[in-house]
Structure 1
Amino acid sequence: MQNQFSEYQSSNNESIVTFSGSPTSPRSQQNFSGDPLDSSEPEENSSDNNSSDKEDIMSLEEISSKHMALRASTAPARPLSDIEEFRRTSDFLLLEHTVICASQLIQNQDQKYDLDSEEGQRACKKFLNQIERLCEVFKVNCVSRDYRKAFSKAYQVLYKEGTLCFLTEILDSAQEGFPYLYVNGEKYLFSSEVLDAGSKLFHSFCKIQHIFREIYNRICEETSTGVVGEIISDLTEALQDFDTNWVDFEHLYVHELMVIETDARRFITQAIELEREMSLIEVKEKARGRVTLDSEEFNGLRDKFVTIIGKINSVANVEGKGRDDLSLNILLAAEGISRRMHPMQSHPIKKLADKIRQAFTAFRTLFRKYDQNIEVVDPQLKNNPELVEALTNFEGSWERGKEYILNSKRCNQVVYIYNMIEKHAEKYPTFKEQLEFSDSQLFVSVPSLLVLKCLEDDDKGICKHFCPLIYEEHEEIGIVFKRLKRSYKLGKLASSSVQEYAELLEMMIIGEKVNQKSRTQIINPKFDNLDHVLTKITNLSIAIQRNRPSEWNRFLDVVLC
Structure 2
Amino acid sequence: MQNHFQQSPNQIYQNPSEVNPRSNDIQFHEADINNNSYESSQENSSNASFSEKDELNSTEEYSNKHLALRASTAPARPLSDIEEFRRSSDFLLLEHTVICSSQLIRTDDQKYDLDSEEGQAACKKFLNQIERLCDVFKAFCRSRSYRKVFSNAYRVLYREGFLCYLTEILDSAQEGFPYLYVNGEKYLFSQEVLEAGRNLYSSFSKLQIDLREIYNRICEETTSGIVGEVILCLTNALQEFDNNWVDFENLYVHELMVIETDARRYITEGIDIEREMLLLEAKGRSRGKLIFENEEYNHCRERFVKILGKINSVANIEGKGRDDLTLDILIAAEGISRRMTQNNPLKNLADKIRHSFTVLRALFRKYEINIEVVDPQLKNNPDLVEGLVKFEESWERGKAYILNSKRYNKVIYLHKLIEKISEKYQNFQRQLECSDAELFVIIPSLLVLKTLEEEDKGICRYFCPRMYDENDEIGITWKRLKRNFKLGKLASSSLLEYTELLEMMILGIPINPQLRSEIINPKFDNIDHVVNKIKTLSIAVQRHKPVEWNKFLDIVLS
- What TM-score comes out, normalization by structure 1 length? 0.87
Q: Equivalent residue of 1:207, what SS?
A: helix
Q: Equivalent residue of 1:396, what SS?
A: helix
Q: What's the offset of the Cα at 1:75? A: 2.0
Distance 2:230 2:481 in 1: 99
The equivalent of 1:217 in structure 2 is 216
The equivalent of 1:311 in structure 2 is 310
Q: Would the aligned equivalents of 2:82 and 2:222 in 1 still touch at CA under 8 Å?
A: no
Residue 457 of structure 1 pairs with residue 465 of structure 2: no
Residue 378 of structure 1 pairs with residue 375 of structure 2: yes
Q: What's the offset of the Cα at 1:291? A: 1.4
Residue 337 of structure 1 pairs with residue 336 of structure 2: yes
Distance 1:285 1:423 in 2: 43
Q: Equivalent residue of 1:187, what SS?
A: strand
The one of 465, 468, 475 aligned to 1:468: 465
The one of 478, 496, 515 aligned to 1:499: 496
Q: What's the offset of the Cα at 1:224? A: 5.5
Q: What's the offset of the Cα at 1:72? A: 5.5
Residue 390 of structure 1 pairs with residue 390 of structure 2: no
Q: Equivalent residue of 1:149, what SS?
A: helix
Structure 1 stretches lacking a partner, 5+ long: 1-57
The equivalent of 2:24 in structure 1 is none
Q: What's the offset of the Cα at 1:525? A: 2.1
Q: Equivalent residue of 1:182, what SS?
A: strand
Q: Equivalent residue of 2:449, what SS?
A: helix
Q: Equivalent residue of 1:457, what SS?
A: coil
- The letter of the residue matching 2:422 is A
Distance 1:494 1:234 in 2: 110
- The letter of the residue matching 1:93 is L
When the two chains are superposed, the root-mean-square deviation of aligned CA atoms in Å is: 1.9
Q: Structure 1 stretch 403-412 or stretch 487-496: which is displaced more?
A: 487-496
The one of 539, 542, 545 aligned to 1:542: 539
Distance 1:222 1:188 in 2: 52
Distance 2:85 2:318 in 1: 63
Relative distance call for 1:253 and 1:222 in structure 2 (3 A) is closer
- The letter of the residue matching 1:477 is I
Alignment of 1:84-95 (within 5 A): 84-95=83-94
Residue 183 of structure 1 pairs with residue 182 of structure 2: yes
Q: Equivalent residue of 2:532, what SS?
A: helix
Q: What's the offset of the Cα at 1:501? A: 1.1
The equivalent of 1:296 in structure 2 is 295
Distance 1:155 1:515 in 2: 78
Distance 1:487 1:553 in 2: 30
- The letter of the residue matching 2:296 is E
Q: Equivalent residue of 1:422, what SS?
A: helix
Residue 99 of structure 1 pairs with residue 103 of structure 2: no
Q: Equivalent residue of 1:281, what SS?
A: helix
Q: Would the aligned equivalents of 1:83 and 1:224 in 2 still touch at CA under 8 Å?
A: yes
Q: Structure 1 stretch 169-178 or stretch 530-539: which is displaced more?
A: 530-539
Q: Equivalent residue of 2:206, what SS?
A: helix
Residue 511 of structure 1 pairs with residue 528 of structure 2: no
Q: Cα deviations across residues 428-450 of structure 1 (Å, max 9, x unaligned)? A: 11100110000101111111100
Distance 2:268 2:389 in 1: 20
Relative distance call for 1:498 and 1:131 in structure 2 (3 A) is same
Percent pairwise identity: 71
Q: Cα deviations across residues 526-552 of structure 1 (Å, max 9, x unaligned)? A: 211111111111111111111111111
* Bigger CA radius of gyration: 1
Distance 1:222 1:238 in 2: 19
- The letter of the residue matching 1:205 is F
Q: Would the aligned equivalents of 1:218 and 1:224 in 2 still touch at CA under 8 Å?
A: no
More helix by share: 2
- What TM-score comes out, normalization by structure 2 length? 0.87
The equivalent of 2:345 in structure 1 is 348
Q: Cα deviations across residues 338-397 of structure 1 (Å, max 9, x unaligned)? A: 11112xx21111111111111111111000000000110111111111001100110111
The equivalent of 2:81 in structure 1 is 82
- The letter of the residue matching 2:82 is I
Q: Would the aligned equivalents of 2:80 and 2:224 in 1 still touch at CA under 8 Å?
A: no
The equivalent of 2:235 in structure 1 is 236
Q: Cα deviations across residues 31-62 of structure 1 (Å, max 9, x unaligned)? A: xxxxxxxxxxxxxxxxxxxxxxxxxxx9xx99
The equivalent of 1:278 in structure 2 is 277
Q: What's the offset of the Cα at 1:81? A: 1.2
The one of 517, 520, 534 aligned to 2:517: 520
- The letter of the residue matching 2:524 is F
Q: Would the aligned equivalents of 1:125 and 1:167 in 2 still touch at CA under 8 Å?
A: yes
Q: Would the aligned equivalents of 1:142 and 1:240 in 2 still touch at CA under 8 Å?
A: yes
- The letter of the residue matching 2:475 is G
Distance 2:330 2:221 in 1: 85
Distance 1:359 1:259 in 2: 31
The one of 432, 438, 463 aligned to 1:441: 438
Q: What's the offset of the Cα at 1:65? A: 6.8
- The letter of the residue matching 2:540 is A
Distance 1:262 1:466 in 2: 48
Residue 529 of structure 1 pairs with residue 526 of structure 2: yes
Distance 1:369 1:442 in 2: 43
Relative distance call for 1:497 and 1:209 in structure 2 (3 A) is same
Distance 1:310 1:265 in 2: 14
Structure 2 stretches lacking a partner, 5+ long: 1-56
Distance 1:246 1:489 in 2: 88
Q: What's the offset of the Cα at 1:70? A: 10
Q: Would the aligned equivalents of 1:215 and 1:235 in 2 still touch at CA under 8 Å?
A: yes
Q: Equivalent residue of 1:140, what SS?
A: coil
